[in-house]
Amino acid sequence: MSLANPNRYESIRCVLMDIEGTTTDIEFVHSVLFPYSAQHLPQYVMDHEDDTTVQKCLLGVRQTLLDENEVTEAHTHTCIQALLHWIATDRKHTALKTLQGLIWKTGYETGAYQSHVYPDVLPALQRWQAKGLTLAIYSSGSVAAQQLLFGHTPHGDLAPYFSHYFDTTVGGKKEMASYQDIAKALALPPEAILFLSDMEDELEAAEEAGFQVIQLQRDDNVISGHVPYPVKRSFDAILP
């Protein structure tokens, strides 16, 4: 891979973005969203136990607990305790992500908080949209949670900038097959897609699938040693 080739991004037709550590400060998720969902989850599940979506989530939690031999039967109370533990340990479980999406919706809509998006993101979205690029998100948070986050930023509603949202229902972010499926869904050859993420193992999987990749380094730590991917500190210098 040549970092010096100035034309390497000319074929790009889509920018696919990670959220945490890329468009958004990881602290927002850990200091605002996770505590809010932990605080409101027990009551939310008990209040909405008969809703179809919540029932499906509880089934998913039960199945995982039984599969992992954590319990021999899982009542709602046991499921809630497991969900709280998964929030604390940042487990990427689809049922948890769905429930968190529902709870965060309430938080956004009642104005309990706004999301965080780095100030260089909106100008980049405008710039890339003007170039005719497709803009898409791939994050471990559910699609509903992603849309809420971009719908309630201090810079306004950014959700309409993105034509595609992908979450872990397409597969894990460290698996090459997930990126192959995303390319199919976008109807683009992999090399026409630029993936932006702060995580090396995600970039590795995307690059294996043939994507172009850039690593975001949002904090002030000096990068030392071998850097396998092009690194940028903000979106300003990406497809300027």
Query: Which CB atom, from 18 or from 96, has the smaller least distance to Mg ion?
Result: 18
CB closer to Mg ion out of 18 and 54: 18
> Contact at 8 Å (CB) between 11 and 132?
no
Question: CB-wise, 18 or 82, nearer to Mg ion?
Answer: 18
Indicate the DSSP class of residue 175: -
Write the DSSP symbol of residue 153. Answer: B
Q: Which is nearer to Mg ion, 20 or 207 (CB)?
A: 20
CB of 219 to Mg ion, least distance (A): 12
Strand runs (DSSP E) across the chain, as ranges?
Answer: 14-17, 134-138, 164-166, 193-197, 212-216, 231-232
**Shortest Å distance, C-beta 23 to Mg ion:** 9
Position of minimal CB gap to Mg ion: 21
Contact of 129 with 135, CB cutoff 8 Å: yes
**Ramachandran angles phi, psi of 165, nearest 5°:** -125, 130
Q: The dihedral of CA 145, 200, 136, 237: what is its sign?
A: positive
Min dist CB 24 to Mg ion, Å, is 9
Cβ of residue 125: shortest distance to Mg ion, in angstroms? 18
- Residues at the site binding Mg ion, with contacts judged by CB under 5 A: 18, 20-21, 198
Provide the minimum distance between the beta carbon of 40 and Mg ion in the complex, in angstroms, as a whole number. 24
Shorter beta-carbon distance to Mg ion: residue 21 or 190: 21
> Least distance (Å) from Mg ion to the CB of residue 202?
7
Contact predicate 231/117, CB 8 Å: no
Q: Which is nearer to Mg ion, 36 or 138 (CB)?
A: 138
Q: Which is nearer to Mg ion, 45 or 148 (CB)?
A: 148
What's the per-residue H, E or C state across 93-135? Answer: CHHHHHHHHHHHHHHHHCCCCCCCCCCCHHHHHHHHHHCCCEE
Could you tell me the smallest distance in angstroms from the CB atom of residue 31 to Mg ion?
16
What backbone torsions phi and psi does residue 236 show, to the nearest 5 degrees?
-55, -40
